[in-house]
A = this chain, B = another copy of it.
């Protein structure tokens, strides 16, 4: 028997900044039509509908969104995992900006932003759950 090959995580499509904002609307809803996302983003981003439709169409082409027709309407749903994509883009930033190290990334927020006590506690709790941390 040949050795069991390691299953590689699928490559994430290259999602641009504007496309990220669109994807987050679909991830938040699971599956929805374009009108709903257009209504939401029209408010928060002040994009015109054709702008958002373009971004949706490009995401479909990239394989990040899929769709099913229902009458004349399309129902779109994400084809990629949010957490997986979030990690990929975060890792890319850390590699490029911080030489692959996570500590300086965290430091930039601790040193240059006002994080709430709750945020700090939350971060601390996360680390406490790692080996070597208090229980």
Contacts and interface: CB of A to CB of B under 8 A. Distances in A.
A50 interface: no
Given A97-B20, A101-B119, A104-B86, A110 B126 contact: yes
Given A20-B96, A110-B130, A123-B127, A90 B105 contact: yes
Interface in A93-135: 93-94, 96-99, 101-113, 115, 117, 119-124, 126-127, 130-133
A68 interface: no
A97 B102 contact: no
A83 interface: yes
Interface of A: 17, 20-21, 24, 83-84, 86-87, 89-94, 96-99, 101-113, 115, 117, 119-124, 126-127, 130-133
25 contacts: A17-B96, A21-B96, A24-B97, A83-B108, A83-B111, A83-B112, A86-B97, A86-B108, A87-B109, A87-B113, A90-B93, A90-B97, A91-B113, A103-B122, A103-B126, A106-B123, A106-B126, A107-B126, A110-B126, A117-B132, A120-B131, A120-B132, A123-B127, A124-B133, A127-B127
